[in-house]
Amino acid sequence: MLSDLNWKRSNVRGEAQCSRCSRTLLAGQNSIQIDRSRVCIKCWDEVRADPTKSVKEYKLEFRIGNGSPTRRSSSNGRSGGSRRPAPSLQPTLSTYDAALLVGNALDRAVSGGSAQLFPAGDLPFFEPGFDNLVIGRAGVTVVGSKAYSSAVQIEAPVSWSSTSIPTNVLSNGRNMRALVELAIEQRTALEALIAAAKFKFEVPVAAALCFESVVGIDRTPVRDSMGVRIDTVENIAAFATRRGPVFDKEIEPVVDYLRQLAEAPLKPLAATPEPPSPGHPPASD
Ligand SMILES: [Zn+2]
């Protein structure tokens, strides 16, 4: 994993060369030092785009020490003491506790304003860890709290303004991109429900993921991956309750609609329920 690689960001002191592309690195230029070699930022971004590679694979790609582990004790032997112990990958809060904590924070954020908090638990697309919807002037935002208590680091591997290349959402070196994909699924399902309601006003739909702490590394101040907002709960609350095209009086009809769906999720949308036709047993296959 990337976190196992002995790397640091450092400016070049004297002139040096990128070990991968042989580009000249001038004194003072930003570069990445790996062991005693240097690589340019471009190569670094290209190679680290997949943070799941082993140290050996990284070194091969960076052309450092011909990829063979030199003077490294085997993993079952005594370690040289240079490797930091791997921090726990598990969030410290359960999905349930994180949802409560985030729900409470959102609740405080909407109190006194026009926005409303809605529990997603009974909606047809509900996924544990995406327990809260905020309905406000900016529309409907589904807020994820899954893995909330893992600190995350956000990296954009290639182009950080891209909407098609997902950023890396790293927690202790593990990529949590799957979580972003889950949030996108939630947003898509919510969009379909809102579209089916045929409101006569625009209701934007957004998805957000809350974390206890979020850091973007230097030149990538990314707080967004594939349109999914990633931030602390305070910032997500501000995001979900920001100004938007929805008027205050239009918020209640959206909440009502979602409430109806939550109470009778199987009922056809906005249609009179048909009585079950007699004489036809339910189809089975
Ligand atoms: Zn290079």
Output the CA 42–ligand 1 centroid distance in Å: 6
pLDDT tens track for 17-53: 899 988 888 877 888 888 888 999 888 888 887 777 8
Terminal Cα-to-Cα distance of the chain (whole angstroms): 47
Residues in contact with 66: Cβ distance below 8 Å, sequence separation at least 6, in sequence order: 60
Output the CA 49–ligand 1 centroid distance in Å: 14
Output the CA 92–ligand 1 centroid distance in Å: 38
Output the CA 24–ligand 1 centroid distance in Å: 9
pLDDT tens track for 175-211: 777 888 899 999 999 999 999 999 999 999 999 998 8
Output the CA 32–ligand 1 centroid distance in Å: 10
pLDDT at 148 over 70: yes
Question: What is the residue type of 105?
Answer: A
Residue 271's pLDDT is 47
CATH number for the segment(s) 2-67: 3.30.60
Output the CA 158–ligand 1 centroid distance in Å: 14
Contact assessment for residue 151 and residue 213, using Cβ atoms and an 8 Å cutoff: yes
Q: Where are the domains of the chain?
A: 2-67, 95-263
CA atoms within 13 A on the CB side of 131: 19
pLDDT at 278 over 60: no
Average pLDDT of the chain, as a whole number: 79
Output the CA 47–ligand 1 centroid distance in Å: 10
pLDDT above 90: percentage of residues in the chain: 33
Please give the structure tokens belonging to residue 153: 């680091």
Residue 276's pLDDT is 53
Output the CA 110–ligand 1 centroid distance in Å: 49
Mean pLDDT of 164-180: 71
Output the CA 41–ligand 1 centroid distance in Å: 7
Residue 73's pLDDT is 40
Mean pLDDT of 138-145: 96
Residue 108's pLDDT is 92
Dihedrals phi, psi of 167, to nearest 5 degrees: -75, 160
Ion ligand 1: residues, CB < 5 A: 18, 20-21, 23, 40, 43
Output the CA 46–ligand 1 centroid distance in Å: 9
Output the CA 38–ligand 1 centroid distance in Å: 9
Residue 201's pLDDT is 96
Output the CA 161–ligand 1 centroid distance in Å: 22
Output the CA 235–ligand 1 centroid distance in Å: 36
What are the DSSP calls for the chain, one per residue?
-GGGS-EEEEE-SS-EE-TTT--EE-TT-EEEEETTEEE-HHHHHHHHTSTTS-HHHHHHHHT-GGGPPPS---TTS---S-SPPPPP-S-SS-HHHHHHHHHHHHHHHHTTSS-EEEEGGGSTT--TT--EEEEETTEEEEEE-TTTTS-EEEE-SS-TT-SSSPPEEEETTEE-HHHHHHHHHHHHHHHHHHHHHT-SS---EEEEEE-S-EEE-TT----EETTEEEE-HHHHHHHHTS--S--HHHHHHHHHHHHHHHH-TTSPTTSPPPPPPTT-PPP--
Output the CA 40–ligand 1 centroid distance in Å: 4
CA 200 to chain centre: 32
Residues in the chain: 285
